[in-house]
Amino acid sequence: MDFGIKGRRAIVCASSKGLGRACAEALAEEGVNLVLTARTEGPLLKTAEEIRTKYDVNVVAIAGDITTEEGRAAVLKECPDPDILINNAGGPPPGDFRDWSTEDWMKALNANMLTAIELIRQTVDGMQERKFGRIINITSAAVKAPIDILGLSNGARAGLTGFVAGISRKTVAHNVTINGLLPGPFDTDRLKSTLEPAAKATGKSIKEVAAERAALNPAGRFGQPEEFGATCAFLCSDKAGFITGQNILLDGGAFPGTL
């Protein structure tokens, strides 16, 4: 299937590795030119070069923190008129809500709700005028099935999802869609870091803990970032203009509900 987005331009936030990188690669495979971001310059430049070489697309790397005004301004200066915007940032830490201060909450809300809203605010009108736009927010399966120790994530991402549910029904009239991608357990550095405490507590190796966790998923494994990227690329395609305001769960069947 031709996704019909060759030559389009995408901003992919937080994309030197993991799910962001997978989305960037899947878009590059469709011929989309990219602006990538991450805080650490070295790995970001390496990723940009690898994608550029493999897919023969234009890739610009902007090192910076996307959760800051300066970070966003640098990206939008490079690409003020993207056709595709993939919102992503690191997830907040786990913990007990009794320990979280207002400052902790503001940090999580900024990273996982307000940053995405701000980038949408600054790009969506141009997309509407040009009659094409695809916006994806990478959130979490926790939006659908909250995880108690990830309260900061549950709250901030649910806020973003609620906001998008409203505006995505307006923008679609101009061929601008906004959807959420909700990852369950995907094999990334982030996932590995969440296994470390369990490995330490039980004296097992990370490999053993990973195998036990993966076996609990109905698919019997973790998701692969490429699977996530492929779904993202389809939602960004010109074939997906009738899908908006949706939250697509990629969790190997872990959520037990009928709908």
- For the CB of residue 116, give the shortest distance to ligand NAP in the complex, in Å: 11
Exposure on the CB side of residue 67, measured as CA atoms within 13 A: 15
Sign of torsion over alpha carbons 41, 44, 50, 56: negative
Residue whose tokens read 């993991």: 18
Amino acid residing at 231:
T
In the list 20, 155, 245, 252, the residue contacting ligand NAP (rule: CB under 6 A) is 20
- For the CB of residue 6, give the shortest distance to ligand NAP in the complex, in Å: 25
DSSP-derived 3-state class of residue 25: helix
Q: Which of 67, 161, 64 is nearest to 110 (CA)?
A: 67
Distance CA(111)–CA(101), nearest Å, equals 16
Residue 58 binds ligand NAP, judged by CB under 6 A: no
Near ligand NAP in 200-259, by CB under 6 A: none
Q: Which stretch binds ligand NAP (CB under 6 A): 15-23, 98-106, 160-168, 237-245?
A: 15-23
Q: Do 233 and 24 touch, CB atoms closer than 8 A? A: no
Q: Do 59 and 51 touch, CB atoms closer than 8 A? A: yes
Residue 155 binds ligand NAP, judged by CB under 6 A: no
Residue 18 binds ligand NAP, judged by CB under 6 A: yes
Near ligand NAP in 165-184, by CB under 6 A: 183
Residue 36 binds ligand NAP, judged by CB under 6 A: no
Residue 159 binds ligand NAP, judged by CB under 6 A: no
| Binding residues vs ligand NAP (CB under 6 A) | 14-20, 37-40, 65-67, 88-91, 138, 140-141, 183, 185-186, 188-191
